[in-house]
A and B are shown apart, each in its own frame.
Chain A
Amino acid sequence: MGPDIAAALARLRRQRRPPEQQARTDGGLDEGSAKAPVSPVSKLWYSDAVQAIPFWLPPALLMGWFVYGAVGWNLLISLTDWSGLGQPEYTSLSLEMYRELPGDRSFRAAFRNTVILLVAFTGVSLAIGLVLAILVDRDIRFENTFRTIYLLPMALSFVVTAIFWSWMYNPTTGTINVVLRGIGLDVLASDWIGNPRTRLWAIIFALTWQFSGYAMVVYLAGLRAIPDEHYEAAKVDGASTLRMYWRVIIPQLSAATVSAVVVLMVFALKAFDFIFVMFGDNPGRSADILAVMMFRVAFSRAQWAYGAAVATVLFVMALAIVAPYLYVQYRRGAL
């Protein structure tokens, strides 16, 4: 079986090579020794890209149509003034919807909340994840158990955690307030998700709880890649534990940080489900984010073009987060 396949493959490859580059009898390639000029058409025809068409074209078409086509269509809709029932008017395109955005107080609030969520959620998750990873990495007992416990929340769906946290935050029967009152801190008990001043932070807290475990796993992988000798070398050189981590270990985690940041930020942009389950399509100006606003504007108010414009802003934000990462990866040759 094996030799047959190998022989067939060899035959195939020989056929696919341009005629002027056939194998020589000694096993080398007969390149250039035959002086026949290579025509551009033939060069193109035998290039890897063309020869590999059967493999890359079908998935590229599917992706192109359903993903990038949809993105493009969304962009097109955002340039119309489509709303309510009826069909979009593609004849008069303008940036009217985008011009309206800055003046819209609800957009401004949603944009601000999205940025706060993005920064605070990512920053706190990273910090907690890093501390957990360092603790778990120090050869503690039941390390695997702790790792699983910390990672478990991430396995839960946003719907589950949103319902679960809305119970926790319940002002009268919720665990948080019950515990606070139980230990005599009644003053601190409050209507966490009812009060507009604490609402966004309650969401960030819950999301951090869910995603710190992920940051921990990424950091743990990074820490495991650092040889023990780096710790020992730093110690022999005279570094205290704090300085050893600060100057030797954490700087080596930059790659882990970058990939965790990208994933966490993208999750933050997509926090739609969590907020939608907790508050429905209108969480109020204090906790509104672009994703929820987009849904509300488009599907509840049928302002299709305006919703599409919000979606485009969201898309650009996601691109702004991912693109630098991809570029750096590309420069490193990792793509």
Chain B
Amino acid sequence: MARVTLEHITKRYEDVTAVDDMNVEIRDGEFVCLVGPSGCGKSTTMEIVAGLTTPTEGTVFIGDADVTKLPPKDRGVAMVFQNIALFPHMNVWENISFGLRLRKFDTDEIDRRVEHAADIVQLEGMLERMPDEMSGGQRQRVAIARAIVRNPDVFLMDEPLANLDAKLRVHMRTELQRLHKELDTTIIYVTHDQAEAMTMSDRIAVINAGRLQQIDPPLICYNEPANLFVAGFIGSPSMNFVEGDLTRDGLETPNFSVEFDPSQVPNATVGDRLTLGIRPEDVFLEHRAGNLETTTDPIDAVTDVLEPMGDEIFVYLLLDESAERSMEDALATPNQLLMSVSPDTEIHEDERTNVVLDRSKVHLFDTDTGEALVHGIDDLPGPTAGADTGAGTAGTETRATGSGTDTER
């Protein structure tokens, strides 16, 4: 068991910077996922911790020791690989005991440890089998046993579940969490699958383009993303983004406006370009939004495509009917909004409807820098009370529970 600290880690290849000034401290016994799109530098970061790649700059500490220049075998790490990487010419026992035999442990000790490891991953009675006689899940267990058997200070797992089928993957996720509880060892886990990261880790490190974007517990990353990238990457389907201008009354987007006092938004002044972010589950049909504390003004929309998922329905909304419908990049166009509704909702395609956003779940980002400015605008007061004219005022009022918002107005 040990803590892992990366200080100013940078890895440059000839003309690419794979990892850019990475500073991470992973606590003893913590399960941390490095998550990001392909090529973001998460695997390189792990290879640097393992010692398979030398960083161009920076220092790696495992425990209190500077291991930057140590070879992999002297770092007290064990690794589980994406394609499992069992040695095909060795049986399970030989695979698991490989590291111990290289280190010249005595036979009794090897036997004891291999049996213990096989016991943990439930491989009893399979020690004589060859890798090609086993299923994908069993092979992955062998790979994990091979890591356990060496009693490492740190486990490094590089997308270990990526090659398994969907059902087995979900099962192995639970197994890995159980394993973490049992062994209580530091685990660094690389994945591009944000769902895997969300479900398993104590903290998620979101990486993009070689830079650490945010490292926080899963729900913080979900509810308070540090920037546009994290907001878009964590959560499936992804968050809706609508660009607009900050005005004296709030945010003005091409199809709707959201009212709040702009002076309450830190680091932004009237006239700035902001991006509004809202998750699909925080968009509501107006007549169903009754039990929300505060919502925005109703937004005119037309339903486009419905995707019933069983436990929910994804509804693609067009905000401006006259604009061209674009299927690709639907979430990036200001004209579309994705809403998730419960499966019992009466809703049809090509239907005119009104939707509202949950003000407590509206995120505001600086469009240029991508930095998050505000999470939830429910406690930002409206512009100046009484000065409102016309329709868009109800947004700032606290709504009573129950339906009938129309009568209230």
Contact = CB atoms under 8 A, between A and B. Distances in A.
A232 B150 CA distance: 16
A236 B72 contact: yes
Interface string A201-238: 00000000000000000000000000101101111111
Interface in A225-254: 227, 229-230, 232-239, 243, 247-248, 251-252, 254
Nearest to A243: B102
Contact of B83 (A227, A235, A247, A251): A227
B181 interface: no
A237 B150 contact: yes
B82 interface: yes
Interface string B65-84: 00000011100011101111
Interface in B50-91: 50-52, 71-73, 77-79, 81-85, 87-89
A238 B102 contact: yes
Interface residues of B, number: 24
A223 to B, nearest CB: 14
B102 A239 contact: yes
Contacts of A243: 102
Contacts of B71: 235
B79 A252 contact: no
A251 B87 CA distance: 9
Given A236-B78, A237-B98, A237-B150, A230 B73 contact: no
Given A229-B81, A229-B82, A236 B87 contact: no
A9 to B, nearest CB: 36
Contacts of A236: 50-52, 72-73, 77-79
Q: Is the interface of A mostly helix, strand, loop or mixed?
A: helix
A248 B95 CA distance: 10
A227 B87 CA distance: 10
Interface in B150-183: 150
Nearest to B82: A229
Contacts of A252: 87-89
Nearest to B89: A251
Contacts of A237: 73, 78, 98-99, 102, 146, 150
A186 B60 CA distance: 57
A147 B165 CA distance: 39
Interface string B304-348: 000000000000000000000000000000000000000000000
A248 B87 contact: yes
Contacts of B81: 229, 232-233
Given A229-B82, A233-B79, 18 more contacts: A227-B83, A227-B85, A229-B83, A230-B85, A230-B87, A232-B47, A232-B81, A235-B71, A235-B73, A236-B72, A236-B73, A236-B77, A237-B150, A238-B72, A238-B102, A239-B73, A243-B102, A252-B88
Interface of A: 227, 229-230, 232-239, 243, 247-248, 251-252, 254
16 contacts: A227-B83, A229-B84, A230-B85, A232-B50, A232-B72, A233-B79, A234-B98, A236-B50, A236-B72, A236-B78, A237-B73, A243-B102, A248-B87, A252-B87, A252-B89, A254-B89
